[in-house]
Amino acid sequence: MHPALRPPDELAHGDFEMVVRRLADDLAFGMDVSRFVGSGLEYAQSRPYAPGDPMKSMDWRITARLGKPFVKEYETLKRTGMFLLVDTSASMGVGSTPLTKHDLAIWIAAAVGLVGQRRMSPVAVIGGGERETRVEPSLRRGDLWRALDPLRSASLDEGTRLAERLADIDARASRASMVIAISDLHDPEAIGALRHAALKHDCIALHLLDPAERGRLRAGFYRGQEAETGRIFAGHGHVGWPGEGELASDLARSGVSYLRLQTDQSFLAPLRHFLSFRPSIGGGRG
């Protein structure tokens, strides 16, 4: 479970940002973040200190060795953009646990985005539903908060545009980037769009599931309705929805890194492990 987390739309802006900072600290703790946010700022050389240089750029090792101040210079062209695609469609906002898939997606996107910016990777947060959000990656914290803010509240009548947004990212990103889709993957066209994006970009699919979708409801037979399509279906509380294993294999064969996360379980430890040790197999690597 997520004992410290509440639905993000219940928090004031300052409280939301404070929780995100703590999540980012926990997510990055003990992890080589360069494995999932790209190369960031690459060290180029050290030069003598000049008035106005920031103290955080000091090269203390060379300064101590030579007895006069030196600063580090970095190659800024090595920054890798990160696109966080957050599914905000109707199916994400319904569930059997206090924290819905939509809530979990917002917390994950915010934490990963902040870790990326701290690593000097420009970040864009894009809604995978019908809401328009900022598209250009940015290093500014204010841009991250402004992109997340209109997505914090779930909408139970919002359609999915996940595949469309993936195609748009693929077309607009001039360089190989990291693309992270955070979704329940109910959009039937999303898998093909992820496969296509992986030809150019380093793609990750974070597949969010409610316990009801894995046969973990304390119930017998039930009658349900798909939130986005309105399709009526029958199910059983101990039988999961089909296709999960095939989906993971399909994405892996296409070069998309895949992780399943559940709304009734803590996400920090498995996400940290996944991002630290996943193989670099996407098209954006190399």
Return the closest-CA partner of residue 24 out of 115, 109, 94.
115
In the predicted model, what is the mean pLDDT of residues 163-171? 92
Lowest mean pLDDT among 45-59, 95-109, 214-228: 214-228
- Kindly state the DSSP code that residue 8 receives in the 8-state scheme: G
pTM here is 0.78
Q: Please name each of the domains of the chain with its CATH number.
A: 8-32+80-277 (3.40.50.410), 41-77 (no CATH)
Backbone phi, psi, residue 122, to 5°? -60, 140
Distance CA 126, CA 143 (A): 12
In the predicted model, what is the mean pLDDT of residues 10-21? 97
Instruction: Give the per-residue pLDDT at 32.
Output: 66
Q: Is the pLDDT of residue 92 over 50?
A: yes
> What is the percentage of the chain residues whose pLDDT exceeds 90?
57
Long-range residue pairs from 136-140, CB within 8 A, at least 24 positions apart, any chain = 137/81, 137/82, 137/83, 137/177
Instruction: Give the per-residue pLDDT at 65.
Output: 92
Distance CA 57, CA 53 (A): 7
The answer to whether the beta carbons of residues 286 and 230 sit under 8 Å apart is no
